[in-house]
Each structure stands twice: as structure tokens, then as C-alpha cells.
């Protein structure tokens, strides 16, 4: 890992599955759940700061990512499977309860775990994606309707093999352009994907005009090595299960988050505006009955815990102190 965060990567085995992980500290279990295209490395600037409050902090590579359990079937990446992975990891660490912190896809995984298993979740922090519950249609149905005449990356990801071929052609180019695209720098420079419905994800995206001060060449090389090992198939399969998730979990239509909860987002995160003329960060606690507030981090894009680690660490610390 980054030389500033000398944490030893290990592999745990639980319930016929395995996951690469890092851990630091002692105390109640706090799990960090990454998004796409991230790995446990996305928490490199947060782990030591959080564990200093008296927690056993564990970051792990989700299923499909480097050196973790990688099943073959697309349907093995439904959100219920990720929740089962968390339950198995809890059992491995002999934890009856857990504090969950998730970013990007990690946020819905954590939110839904908290909704379905409130007795097991002491608290939950979601970053970049609020808890939406279950809509009248699945999210992928919504994206297909909203973006039927233009490109939208989640629609592009639906057909197996297409996005993998593009992104694996030059992994360094893919990682660099994707991270720049939805960072604060990318937002300010109006970096966007092509509007052409038949384009690829990287069409229209550019390299940063100058190095991103929060993402070093060492960081990019680490991520490239991870995705060279795993490829993009498993990670992309998460997007291919959005309709299955909607079918599998009708109970989410009526479930709120009762555990103490917190939302953190970036001021310039394009996720806020996936639905035209609607700011999804306006009321992120509307389905949370024990909500400790929303923190919108200034001058920050999508990669909130990486772009602004000191602010994020401080927000999480304050939250943990309030619930302890």
C-alpha cells in the first residue's frame, strides 16, 4: 500500500469465501466498504485516524475484486450477496454488531444491510450515495428511461463484456480518466462523457491537465496492479443486478434506517445530479429515523474520503463520539 499507510494486507477465509483485508486497532468492529472502481486502498487515508478512537477498523476488497472471492455468475453480485459477505466477515471477527462505513456502491450495501438487519448494525455512514429505499421501479429502469437518447455509464455497463473490453485495454488510462472525471478538478473543468448513446465510457473523458494532489502516481500504479489481477468483470457485475435487487427485496419499500446514521457527500459530486433538476443531496436523511445529519464537503468531488480525508475523518470521529 501507500508508504504512508503501512498496513499489512491479509486474506481471511469464512463460509467457503475469502477476502483480502487490512485491519488496525482493537475494539468494536467497524467495516469500511468501498465502491467502484475502488478497493480497500480507497481507505488508506482514513483507517489509522478512525481506529484511534478505540475501534477495530477493517477494510476489505469486496467480492470480484483483487485477491477476494470471485464467483462467475452475474447474479452472484446481487446486493443480498454483498450483505451476506458482511455477515460472514462479522462472524469471522466474532462480532455481534458492526459499524458500517460505505462509499459509492459501498454506501447502498451498508444502507441496505442497516435496513434489513438493524439489530446487527450499531451505526452506519454512507458517502456519496444517500439511502433511497426501494422505488416504484428499479434504478436501472429509471436510468434507461431518463437516458434513453443519450449515453449514461450505468446503462452502458449492462451488457456483459462490452465495458470490460474497453476498460481493460489500457487499465492505467481507464483508472486515471475515471478518477479525474468525477473529482472536484474534473467537475470544475467540465469533464463529461460523450452524449452519443453508442459511445464508450472513456469517449469524451480526458487526462488531468496537472497531477491530482490527492491521487499520486504511486496510488494509480497500485490500483492498476489490482485491476490487472481482477479485471473489471466482477466489479461491473454489481451494476448488472440493480433490477434483480429490486425484485429480491420488496421489503425495502417500507423500511427506514433506524440505526444512528450519517451522510457525507462532495459539493461537486456529479452523483447529486443524475436526475435532471433534482439534487439528491437535498434531504439525504428522509428515510433515516435516527439521522445525525448530512455533511457536504466543500471543494470536493465524488472520491470524498480520498480527496478530503482530514475533513471526512473529523466528521466520522465526531459521529462516533456522539454514539459511543
Condensed to tens digits (0 to 9), the pLDDT of residues 57-103 reads 999 999 999 999 999 999 999 999 999 999 999 999 999 999 999 99
Longest dimension (CA), the chain: 52
Q: Would you give the DSSP letter of residue 122?
A: E
Is residue 1 assigned to a domain?
A: no
Kindly report, residue by residue over 111-158, the tens digit of the pLDDT: 999 999 999 999 999 999 999 999 999 999 999 999 999 999 999 999
Enclosing domain of residue 134 = 10-323
Supply the CATH number for residue 213's domain.
3.40.50.1820
Amino acid 5: pLDDT: 58
Is residue 2 assigned to a domain?
A: no
Is residue 4 assigned to a domain?
A: no
Kindly report, residue by residue over 171-208, the tens digit of the pLDDT: 999 999 999 999 999 999 999 999 999 999 999 999 99
Q: In the sheet where 261-266 sits, what is the strand order?
A: 10-14, 17-24, 56-60, 29-33, 98-103, 121-127, 261-266, 291-297
Is residue 267 assigned to a domain?
A: yes
Is residue 286 assigned to a domain?
A: yes
Return the sign of the alpha-carbon dihedral for residues 294, 85, 153, 249: negative
Is residue 260 assigned to a domain?
A: yes
Give me Rg for the CA atoms of the chain. Answer: 18
Is residue 162 assigned to a domain?
A: yes
Instruction: Give the H/E segment covering residue 18.
Output: strand 17-24
Q: Which of 241, 282, 187, 298 is nearest to 64 (CA)?
A: 241
Alpha carbon distance 13, 91 (integer Å)? 11
Task: Specify the number of domains making up the chain.
Answer: 1
Q: What is the mean pLDDT of residues 198-220?
A: 95
Is residue 3 assigned to a domain?
A: no
Alpha carbon distance 7, 161 (integer Å)? 34
Alpha carbon distance 299, 169 (integer Å)? 32
| Helix (H/G/I), strand (E/B), else coil: 22 | strand
Amino acid at each position: 500500500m501507500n508508504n504512508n499507510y503501512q498496513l499489512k494486507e491479509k486474506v481471511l477465509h469464512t463460509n467457503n469465501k475469502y477476502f483480502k483485508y487490512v485491519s488496525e486497532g482493537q475494539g468494536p468492529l467497524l467495516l469500511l466498504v468501498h465502491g467502484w472502481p475502488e478497493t480497500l486502498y480507497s481507505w488508506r487515508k482514513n483507517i489509522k485516524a478512525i481506529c484511534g478512537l478505540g475501534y477495530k477498523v477493517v477494510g476489505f476488497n469486496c467480492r470480484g475484486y483483487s485477491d477476494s472471492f470471485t464467483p462467475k455468475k452475474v447474479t452472484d453480485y446481487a446486493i443480498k450477496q454483498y450483505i451476506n459477505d458482511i455477515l460472514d466477515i462479522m462472524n469471522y471477527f466474532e462480532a455481534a454488531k458492526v459499524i458500517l462505513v460505505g462509499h459509492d456502491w459501498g454506501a447502498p450495501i451498508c444502507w441496505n444491510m442497516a435496513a434489513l438487519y438493524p439489530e446487527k448494525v450499531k451505526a452506519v455512514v454512507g458517502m456519496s450515495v444517500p439511502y433511497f429505499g426501494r422505488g416504484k421501479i428499479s434504478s436501472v429502469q429509471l436510468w434507461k428511461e431518463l437516458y434513453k437518447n443519450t449515453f449514461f455509464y450505468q446503462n452502458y455497463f449492462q451488457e456483459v463484456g462490452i465495458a470490460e473490453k474497453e476498460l481493460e485495454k489500457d487499465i492505467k488510462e481507464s483508472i486515471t480518466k475515471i478518477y479525474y472525471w468525477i473529482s472536484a478538478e474534473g467537475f470544475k473543468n467540465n469533464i463529461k462523457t460523450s452524449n452519443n448513446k453508442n459511445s464508450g465510457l472513456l469517449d469524451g473523458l480526458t487526462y488531468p491537465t496537472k497531477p491530482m494532489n490527492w491521487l499520486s502516481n504511486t496510488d494509480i500504479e497500485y490500483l492498476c496492479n489490482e485491476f490487472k489481477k481482477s479485471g473489471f468483470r466482477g466489479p461491473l457485475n454489481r451494476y448488472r443486478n440493480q433490477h434483480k435487487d429490486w425484485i429480491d427485496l420488496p421489503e425495502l419499500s417500507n423500511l427506514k434506517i433506524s440505526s444512528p446514521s450519517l451522510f457525507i457527500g462532495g459539493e461537486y459530486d456529479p452523483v447529486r445530479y443524475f436526475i435532471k433538476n433534482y439534487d439528491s443531496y437535498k434531504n439525504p436523511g428522509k428515510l433515516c429515523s435516527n439521522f445525525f445529519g448530512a455533511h457536504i464537503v466543500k471543494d470536493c468531488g465524488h472520491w470524498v474520503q480520498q480527496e478530503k480525508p482530514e475533513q471526512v475523518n473529523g466528521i466520522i470521529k465526531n459521529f462516533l463520539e456522539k454514539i459511543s
